Structure formats: structure tokens, C-alpha cells
Structure 1
Amino acid sequence: MTRHGKNCTAGAVYTYHEKKKDTAASGYGTQSIRLGKDAIKDFDCCCLSLQPCKDPVVTPDGFLYEKQAILEYILHQKTEIARKMKAYEKQKQAQKSSSQLESKSEEREKVERFKSRENSIVSKPINPFTSSSSSGESSASASSSSTASSSSSSSSSSAPSSSQSLPSFWIPSLTPEAKPTLLKKPSKTVLCPMSGRPIKMNELITVRFTPLDPSLDRVALLNRQDRYVCAVTRDALGNSVPCAVLRPSGSVVTQECVEKLIRKDMVDPVSGDKLSDRDIVPLQRGGTGFSGSGVDLRAKEARPVMQMYKNS
């Protein structure tokens, strides 16, 4: 009864299941879904490739990356920034040249206006006893012929140009009032793809995981669920275990070990170096599927909204 009740189309009530089904099929409205454990990476996987790291590095914010992947990302971003900066400089140069042309045209117009005003001044007196009818008729005929020729030439020249470039009123970028899109000056800072904060190659910290069984090779190690352990307490590491990376040695230890053992002396137990609060980097771990894991488990996709209007 329950299975057939979801497909009932003769009911008088628009059920929640029917609404969700229609929303998914229509393409309108914001869709939200709760992610499970399978949709979230493990704690030892790269944030870019989502694969277990072979040569892991961590940012000061605790995001783990494959060294090759993050270096390729930084180089790609620098190339994109250089390309955008080149386009911005080209636009800036074009604006500068156009402003220079406008200033030159304004100066030329001022000179032409000055010349026309100077030529309109009569320097010798007009003889009232001479007949100006013949000269007036000749000048009128000449002006009429010149206007006719100019109108014919303008109409002939405007015909092909109007047919070649017609305004488009349904594409915003081709309307007669459309202006060219101005590029903003790009930032020269490369941002972390996860945290959105500036990232530099010299700030990346090399991470050294302690394998559970050192005798296993990489393939056999990746096939196991429990792959790594704490470098001090030998506790198994996983998505549900908060971890931290020690900057001097790059060792991965549990947060419990940091609070109970390492913070007492502030000494790296692996390398013996002095530690500061900056040298203890909490590792951003993967999700467990539970709401208290600290990971946002709800994904949303914004789509166009269909609004209904009532005629008043």
C-alpha cells in the first residue's frame, strides 16, 4: 500500500513526495540533499584529487593536498593571473588611447569653431548698388546640387552598413545601448581552493604518516581501512579521530596526544625541537556521515525559481 500510495495521482492533496518529484523533474527551484559518508573524502586524501596522498603536504589551515596537485594548481593560477593582467593592461591602454583621441577631437572642434567664427566676420563694406540676384541664384543652384549629391551618397553608403550591422534587442551584449564589459584589475594572490585564503609554496608543510604495518607496500596499505597510526601513542587514525600535524617533523598525532602529552613540554617527540602554538596544525579530517563530525553535510544547488502571478 505504501509503495502504490506514492504513485497515486487521483488524490485531492498535493503530497510532499509529489512536490519533491516534480521539483527534481522540472528544473526549477533550489535542490538540497544530505550527503552520506561515501560522498566525503577520507582524512588522508587530497582535497583536489580526492585520492590517497603519496607525497602529502598540508597548509597552515590544515587542508591536506598531494604535493604535485597543489603545485600544479598554484602554477595554473599564476598563469591565469598573468593572462588576466595582460588583458587588463590592454584594456587600460585602449582606454588611454581613446581618451587621447577624444581630447584631440575636442581641440580640433574648438579650432574649427574658431575658424568659422573668424571667417564669418566681414572685413570690407558691401556695395549696395551692385545686383546680387545673379550671384544668389548661382549659389542657390550650387548648394542644391551639392545637397542632392551628398544625400544620395549618404543613402548609398548607409544602406550596406545598416544591413551589415543590425541591432539585436534580445541579446544584452548586442543591444544599441550595450557597453563593453570592463575588466577589473585581477589580484596577484593565489588563494587556497578550500579555505579561500592566500597560499604560498614555502608555507606548505610536508606530512609524514606513520603506517600501521611498515612491512606492507603502498597498494596493500591502501586496501586496508586502518592505514595509519599516531606517531606517539600508536592509536589508529581515521575520520572520527581529530588529528594534528607537528610542523618540525611533519608527524601526525592525535589531538588527544597533543592535549595530554605534547602541550606539557611543547617539544616535538619525534625530532626533539621546541614547539609553539603555530607549529601544531590541526588536520582537517573527513566526514563520518554524522551531523557532529564538523563537516557540512548538506549540499544545495541554486536553480531558477518559477513564480506565479495572479491577475488582479
Structure 2
Amino acid sequence: MTRHARNCTAGAVYTYHEKKKDAQASGYGTNTQRVGKDSIKDFDCCSLTLQPCRDPVITPDGYLFDKEAILEYIITKKNEYSRKLKEYEKQKKKEETELAEIAAAEKDSKLNSFIKTEKNIVSTPVTAFKSDTKNNDKPSVSNMTEGRDKHLPSFWIPSKTPEAKETTLKKPDKTIYCPISGKPLKVKDLINVKFKEVNDPDDKKPLVVKKSRYMCAVTHDVLSNSVPCAVIRTTGDVVTMECVEKIIKKDWLHPLTNEKLTEKDIIPMQRGGTGYSITNDKLQGKHERPVLQA
């Protein structure tokens, strides 16, 4: 019996090759592809704008930002805190006013009840076996009495409908957190970074267009995403981790200024990652499409 080719469709079994071929042609299934270089942020780009930094600063955790972008972020968060604090104080003041009104209403109710009882004792005869048909004693159905004029429902505003529940605001947190690491961030903790440009007289391209823009301040090695880098806290110079391990850690002296350094003065730079939740770990993107059922 002769063997059929892979493209033979006379078989009773829907083979894996046929399923894969049909999925690729029809647009079904999941495409898996390794993320390319264009999808990864460069090591010298801001973590907020994803553009090359004009005035770079770095946090103690090693995240690089453009000074203008991170200061604008901090100011925005401070303004948001001020707005939320005003709303919280307004709600708190409203609650205090409502409690005072409830206490005053209870006091007036007790006073009216006492006056009514006194009037019945003095001038009104006891009518224990007679039904009272006076309209004055019936509760009012109006929305404007008994303080209900301040809590009128509105069917055009969602927050004021009869079924809506009031949301209780919590006191806002004054602390500003780093947008990348989530740790507390202060302006005084930002450290200015000094990149050393690659001096190539033959390359007339602008700095932004160049592939090799910066180099190590000590060894003059070209810096890129594949080269682990670190920032010296005292001067802001960018060096490679190889320079830190082989040169700086021998005597803990700055190679350019000869000042004394410590372990805290070395800030490893966080290298560029993708836009996914896990960076530099699984550089793989998946595009899920409808599954073709057999």
C-alpha cells in the first residue's frame, strides 16, 4: 500500500500538520514570537516617556528618568493629593453637620412631644375610645417637610438617585511612590547622571540617531542594553559593572577623582525592558486568536 503525501486530505484523521497549516491560512490559533529589539526600551531612555533623556536623573533603585518628566509626575501627584484631601475634609465636615442636625432634630422632637403632652393634660379631654379624624395629626407626604428638602433625589445624576449609595472616602496617602518600582520617592533622592558621549569624528549623525551613543567613563567601552551598567552616586558617572568589579572594588577609590567610595555609592542601572509585566525575563509575545476546533 502506497503512502500518501502530507497534503493528502483523503485520510479520516485530521493530522497536526493539516491543523497547523489551516490555522496559519485562516487566521486561527496563537502566534508566538520573540520580542524584537524595537520593543525593548534603551538603557538611556526615560522610564516614563520612553525617549532618550535630555537631563537624566536616576533613583536609588536604579531607574532612569528625564528630570522634566519625573518632576512633572511628582507635581501631578501632589496636586492629586491636595484635591483628594479637600474632598475628604468636605465629606468629614458634611458628616459632622449631619450629626449636629440629627441631634438638634431629636431635641426638637422631644420638646414637641413634651409640649403636646402638657397641652393634653391641661386643656384637651381624654379621647381614649374615640378615633381622631383631624388632618393635622397625619404625617405629611411632602418632600419639603421634616428636613427632607435637603435630601431630594435626582433621577438625572447617578450619585443622587434613590438607589444610589454614598461612597465613603478614605484619607489620602501623602507619600509619592515611584511609578516603576512602587517605592517612596522624593526629589532630594534623585541623582544627576552624566553620560560620556562616544567621540567618533567620522560619524556626523545626530546623537539621537546613533546606535552607539555613550561609553564607560573609565574603560571607554560602548554601552548598550546588553552591557550591565552602574552609576557612581557621588559624581553621577556611568561605568560598566565589569569596571566596578575589576577596578573600583579593589581599593574602593573613584578612578577619576580618587575619592573614597562605599557599597552604597554604586547604583546598578535597570536595563531596558519590554512593556509587559515581567521585563528581561520572558521576552516573548503571544497573540491569541480564535481556536480552530477539529
In structure 1, what is the Cα distance between the partners aligned to 2:24 and 2:215? 51
Q: Is the 8 A contact 2:216 2:222 kept in 1?
A: yes
CA displacement at 1:218 relative to structure 2: 9.9
CA displacement at 1:18 relative to structure 2: 3.0
The residue that corresponds to 1:192 in the other structure is 178
CA displacement at 1:173 relative to structure 2: 4.9
1:239 to 195, 218, 225: 225
In structure 2, what is the Cα distance between the partners aligned to 1:156 and 1:223? 70
* Most deviating of 266-275 and 32-41: 32-41
In structure 1, what is the Cα distance between the partners aligned to 2:83 and 2:136? 52
Kindly provide the CA deviation profile for residues 75-134 of structure 1, in whole angstroms up to 9, marking residues without a partner as x: 1111111111111111111111111111111222222233333333358999xxxxx9xx
The residue that corresponds to 2:90 in the other structure is 90
In structure 1, what residue type is equivalent to 2:23?
K
The residue that corresponds to 1:261 in the other structure is 247
In structure 1, what residue type is equivalent to 2:256?
V
The residue that corresponds to 2:28 in the other structure is 18
- Cα separation, partners in 2 of 1:88 and 1:300, compared to 1, 3 Å: farther
In structure 1, what is the Cα distance between the partners aligned to 2:106 and 2:203? 78
**Count of residues paired in the alignment:** 262
- Cα separation, partners in 2 of 1:115 and 1:217, compared to 1, 3 Å: farther
The residue that corresponds to 2:13 in the other structure is none
Kindly provide the CA deviation profile for residues 229-265 of structure 1, in whole angstroms up to 9, marking residues without a partner as x: 1111111111011110001110001111111211121
In structure 1, what is the Cα distance between the partners aligned to 2:69 and 2:202? 25
The residue that corresponds to 1:6 in the other structure is 23
The residue that corresponds to 2:14 in the other structure is none
Percentage identity across paired residues of the two chains: 46
Kindly provide the CA deviation profile for residues 62-83 of structure 1, in whole angstroms up to 9, marking residues without a partner as x: 1101111111111111111111
Structure 1: gaps (5+ residues): 10-16, 22-31, 127-131, 302-312
Q: Is the 8 A contact 2:41 2:274 kept in 1?
A: no
The residue that corresponds to 2:262 in the other structure is 276
Kindly provide the CA deviation profile for residues 122-172 of structure 1, in whole angstroms up to 9, marking residues without a partner as x: 58999xxxxx9xxx99x97xx45x469x89x958999xx9xx95769xx98
Normalization by structure 1: what TM-score?
0.69
* Most deviating of 242-251 and 210-219: 210-219
CA displacement at 1:191 relative to structure 2: 1.2
Matches within 5 A, 1:41-120: 41-120=41-120
2:189 to 196, 203, 207: 203
Normalization by structure 2: what TM-score?
0.73
In structure 1, what is the Cα distance between the partners aligned to 2:204 and 2:72? 23
Structure 2: gaps (5+ residues): 1-6, 8-17, 288-294
Secondary structure of the residue that 1:92 maps to in structure 2?
helix
In structure 2, what is the Cα distance between the partners aligned to 1:82 and 1:69? 20
In structure 2, what is the Cα distance between the partners aligned to 1:156 and 1:173? 19
Q: Is the 8 A contact 2:154 2:160 kept in 1?
A: no
Q: Is the 8 A contact 1:37 1:287 kept in 2?
A: no
- Cα separation, partners in 2 of 1:107 and 1:124, compared to 1, 3 Å: closer
In structure 2, what is the Cα distance between the partners aligned to 1:284 and 1:295? 13
Q: Is the 8 A contact 1:42 1:285 kept in 2?
A: yes
In structure 2, what residue type is equivalent to 1:255?
M
Secondary structure of the residue that 1:221 maps to in structure 2?
coil
In structure 2, what is the Cα distance between the partners aligned to 1:4 and 1:125? 100
